[in-house]
Structures are given as C-alpha cells and as structure tokens.
Structure 1
Amino acid sequence: MILEIEKVKNVWHDVKDILSVPHTDRQYKKLVKILDELIDEVGNDEKHQLAPLLETIGNLIEEYENDHFIQPNSEPVEVLKFLMQENNLTQKDMNILGSQGVVSEILNGKRELNVRQIKALAGKFKVSPSVFL
C-alpha cells in the first residue's frame, strides 16, 4: 500500500486540481470544463482508459452541486432551508412568513407556504416563486 501512495505523491501536484473536491465556483467551473472535454473524448465507451476519470470528476461535480445549488423537484421547505443556510439566516430572520410559531410550523413541515409567503420569499431571495411550489 505504501508503494501506491508513493506513486500518487509523485504525480499529485500535476493532478490535484482535477481530482479534488471543488470548494470554489472557479474550481467547479474548471472541473465542468474538463468533464465536457472528457465526454467528448470518452463518449459512451465504458472501456475507454479515461472512463474511470470521467466518472470520478462527475462525482466530484455532483458533490459540489448538491451542496451549492437548489435541486430540481425539491420540496419547498427544503428549498427554504437551503436558502436560509446559504444566506446565514435563522428562523428569527424569517419574520416575513409570520410569527415565530408560523415559521416553526413551516420549517417542520406542519404548515405549507401560502401565496403571500411564496411571493415574499421569492422577493427576499431573488428567485422564481416556482422554486417554492
């Protein structure tokens, strides 16, 4: 096993940018560009020598996207929680939804968002109201 690590250490400087989880938008965009180039090269050939690299980079990109982007078809409360987290907001900051009790019920899935609340959230977070439907 130590021999394998030594091999990786010898080439890590050259490959670390494409084999590391992206932590910034810039790193993410670079990986997306590399993935596009790999897709052109590998295509649907699962036996291509670069197919495992394509899969690995795809997984790294997916990890970043899951942490930084709203997923399609997410439940409205999950979208709200995501946006609150991304903007460092707490339940107390969400008074546009109503009282603390109302906010708590929404965040715990005991109450659905109404039209007024959806419009207010869309304005606050500058997103389409459809993300809350």
Structure 2
Amino acid sequence: MNAAIDTRHLLPAWEQFRAATDIAPIRSKAHYARMTAMLEQLLDTAQGDERHPAMELADIVGDLIENYETRHHPLPEATGVQALKFLMEQHGLRQSDLTELGSQGVVSEILVGKRELNLRQVRALAERFGVSVATFV
C-alpha cells in the first residue's frame, strides 16, 4: 500500500485517540502506571485470543512500556554463572542435577568461579533451559 497519508485527517484523529487513551511515549512514573494498568485491561479483554483487536493495542502499549523500562530501569549485565545460579533457583535444581556439566565437583568449581564454562557445557545448558547460548557467555 503506497498511498500517501493525508495528515490533515490523520492528526486530528490521532489527537482525539491520544486524548481518549493516553497512549503516547511514556515520560513519567504516573504515565507508566496508567499504561501498565491499561495493558492489563487489554490482556483481560483479549482473554488469550491473539486475533482479538485488543491484542494489537496491547502490542503497542507493551512496546511503549518496554521502551520506558529499558530507559529508566535497565537490567544489570549478568555473568554466565549468575544466570546459571538464577536458573537453578528458578527450577529448584541442585549441583548434582546438572550432570551435563560434569561431576558435582566440576559444577561446584564453576559456581564459585574456579572454572569457566566450556562451549559444550554452554550449549548443553542453553538446550536444557531453552535459552540462548549468549546467556552463559
């Protein structure tokens, strides 16, 4: 669709939409709170139906929230070992459960920083937890 957009009609419609919904780039904590509440309402309305019209709006609002969070609450960089410890905790795993890394002694050395994860171990962990290999490097 290469038709030119007639901004004379678009801008008044946008202003009306924005005034009614408050959907715009998030620039304050109060606006962030309103947008997260709206996102929850949209998701409740869609009830998991990806084809529901509310899901398109939820995608837009979600992107605005993600942009705000990235700018104002960046996640700290985690090391591969920190990621592994987090995933172990989330999955209720002990050192002895990670047989793909080697013996419990090897796992212990990795977790305390005495030994680096090798490529085979990184690939095995990525597959086990369903994450990118970049998580552990």
TM-score, structure 1 length as denominator?
0.49
Larger Rg: 2
TM-score by structure 2 length?
A: 0.48
